[in-house]
Chains A and B, each alone.
Chain A
């Protein structure tokens, strides 16, 4: 399948593309979400395999973000089941879901505005810290050692996303592209095994998007499974192993990028004739 991809993305996908026999990481079965009379998501069923990059695409209002919110516990599913590595996630609070290694970013840029870049990542490292409140108040040496360890981890993550030079800046002084990188850095700090990215490159220029795709490749090499919601088709086609296409709350196609690109339903519902013509 990688033969049909564009050259720049082939390298990305080839790093760790899992075969179709890879274990199922996240299984969403019969998921429905209703807000009053409005059905945002209806009977959605899909699987994310260990180590793959799966993209959810679809026109605005197709239910992508609602599905994200349900998986991460920010809204309640009306029916259906969400199972990650054998553990049911429905009914858990967002912080409990994060404990299972399922961590998300937000569609609207969301960081800790008043803190420095380094402290933003330090907050993200919460799950990896080993500090009992009593030990903190007594000032035990173990706490100081743990803080030093966390600081090292934070620098390592800043290196990974390329924000080391901005570590001491307050988050509000960052550019838009840097803020989106910081969001990913905070999420990575929480040690995800499944990372959910909600439109991470929206509003980025092509150069920033390219840098972000390279970052995504580095994240994959760490063995982190990625579930992506994105409108930027070049990015989606470039990084995804598989794509699930939604329209009006229903799944209309599920397959590798090449199959999605030529799927008549997808073209009609989402990409439109102009996209096909542009591709030549």
Chain B
């Protein structure tokens, strides 16, 4: 796709999404979009690890949950006792708490990246799953800090200061919708810049051929850690946005099923593509609600969910976005300029069985 076409389609998309609340008065559907958007941000951050460095993190929800808890606790304040020494934190402004959450999630990502610097493939999966389980148990059992299963309640909402307008409460559907949209665009731009740079190429090189990558001087560990940090920080940001939107956080945010949902979004949409997690996230974020609209029973919903995923993975193993891109290429290739002169080594498409 040419640059002009892709730019025009991006602008059209963003324009559509910005004006959506103006003509969409179904608040429930807006809520569905907000939750889907938050998951899309998390899925985009997972894609940086899974799609670009090729490392499957099955504990990605840990960073999401850490962001949610860190931001909530910082904005609510807390008092804990370590060895009978009380440690207190007065409530902080929400925007500051969110920054703390992003930083703290990024630090956890750095830690995970460092301890797993030598493990790849299955071992990386085990490290990440264990990490997620540990964070869930901490959230469940450190009652003094997290209230455990009683959950953190009455989490304050974000106040945003706009020049000329003053403070705006990010409370309710429409302001949160715009907040999520903004965060999603920022996330997309950051990841896009990364993958089209020296850093992103180093990550892709690690995925494609690690010995060759090191032979040209790429410190693969360093860039794996960088990917983990950025990925974790963005997942933490998604968690913080989630916490100040639903305003109640319990240990269920660490459930394994949420990691699975993110992985499904990335894989069906197309891992290693910028648009993949967005497409996958829209499908699997909105689909349950569409099914509910048709009054499909919950058990049946899960079956439809599963069958759809199997069909996508079976027929489009690279995901939806690469399949559409290839189809587009074939289409423009046929109608557009004639292809370059055939080479002796290339196998003609008709010759294949």
Is the Cβ of B204 less than 8 Å from the Cβ of A106? no
Residues of B within 8 A of A (CB): 189-190, 193-194, 196-199, 201-202, 204-205, 208-209, 211-220, 226, 230, 340, 343-346
Is the Cβ of A123 less than 8 Å from the Cβ of B211? no
Is the Cβ of A175 less than 8 Å from the Cβ of B343? yes
Tell me the complex Cα distance, A87–B76, Å.
56
**Does A12 interact with chain B (Cβ within 8 Å)?**
no
The answer to whether residues A94 and B215 also contact, given A112-B204, A122-B201 and a CB cut-off of 8 A, is yes
Tell me the complex Cα distance, A173–B340, Å.
14
Q: Mark A134-153, 1 if CB is under 8 A from B, else 0.
A: 00110100010011001000
Is the Cβ of B343 less than 8 Å from the Cβ of A123? no
**Does A85 interact with chain B (Cβ within 8 Å)?**
no
Give every chain B residue within 8 A of A137 (Cβ-Cβ): 190, 193-194, 230
Give every chain B residue within 8 A of A95 (Cβ-Cβ): 214-215, 217-220
Give every chain A residue within 8 A of B346 (Cβ-Cβ): 173
Is the Cβ of A136 less than 8 Å from the Cβ of B198? yes
The answer to whether residues A129 and B215 also contact, given A113-B209, A137-B193, A175-B345 and a CB cut-off of 8 A, is no
Name the contact of B215 in the complex, choosing from A115, A146, A187 (C-beta under 8 A): A187
In the complex, identify which listed stretch (A19-27, A97-105, A233-241) lies at the interface while the others stay far away: A97-105
Tell me the complex Cα distance, A127–B218, Å.
7
Is the Cβ of B213 less than 8 Å from the Cβ of A123? yes
Give every chain A residue within 8 A of B214 (Cβ-Cβ): 93-95, 98
Give every chain B residue within 8 A of A189 (Cβ-Cβ): 216
| Least Cβ–Cβ distance between B227 and chain A, in angstroms | 10
The answer to whether residues A103 and B215 also contact, given A123-B202, A137-B190 and a CB cut-off of 8 A, is yes
**Does A157 interact with chain B (Cβ within 8 Å)?**
no
The answer to whether residues A139 and B211 also contact, given A95-B220, A127-B216, A189-B216 and a CB cut-off of 8 A, is no
Tell me the complex Cα distance, A173–B344, Å.
12
**Does A114 interact with chain B (Cβ within 8 Å)?**
yes
| Least Cβ–Cβ distance between A224 and chain B, in angstroms | 15
Name 17 extra pairs, CB < 8 A, besides A98-B216, A105-B215, A110-B211.
A95-B215, A95-B217, A98-B217, A99-B217, A103-B217, A110-B212, A111-B209, A113-B208, A123-B201, A123-B213, A131-B199, A133-B226, A136-B194, A136-B197, A136-B198, A137-B194, A186-B212
**Does A126 interact with chain B (Cβ within 8 Å)?**
yes
Q: Which 7 A-B pairs have the closest CB atoms?
A: A98-B217, A175-B345, A129-B198, A190-B216, A112-B208, A94-B214, A127-B217
* Secondary structure call for the B interface: helix
Name the contact of B198 in the complex, choosing from A104, A131, A175 (C-beta under 8 A): A131
Is the Cβ of A139 less than 8 Å from the Cβ of B189? yes
**Does A66 interact with chain B (Cβ within 8 Å)?**
no
Give every chain B residue within 8 A of A72 (Cβ-Cβ): 215
Q: How many residues of A contact B (CB 8 A)?
A: 42
**Does A119 interact with chain B (Cβ within 8 Å)?**
yes
Nearest B residue (CB) for A183: B212
Name the contact of A126 in the complex, choosing from B193, B208, B216 (C-beta under 8 A): B216
Give every chain A residue within 8 A of B340 (Cβ-Cβ): 165
The answer to whether residues A131 and B197 also contact, given A98-B215, A124-B216, A190-B216 and a CB cut-off of 8 A, is yes
Tell me the chain A residues, 58-79 only, with Cβ under 8 Å from chain B.
72, 74
Is the Cβ of B208 less than 8 Å from the Cβ of A114? yes
Is the Cβ of A136 less than 8 Å from the Cβ of B199? yes
Nearest B residue (CB) for A143: B197
Give every chain A residue within 8 A of B208 (Cβ-Cβ): 112-115
| Least Cβ–Cβ distance between A105 and chain B, in angstroms | 8
Is the Cβ of B209 less than 8 Å from the Cβ of A126? no
5 residue pairs bridging A and B, Cβ less than 8 Å apart: A74-B211, A123-B205, A126-B216, A126-B218, A137-B190
| Least Cβ–Cβ distance between A115 and chain B, in angstroms | 7
Nearest A residue (CB) for B344: A175
Give every chain B residue within 8 A of A124 (Cβ-Cβ): 216
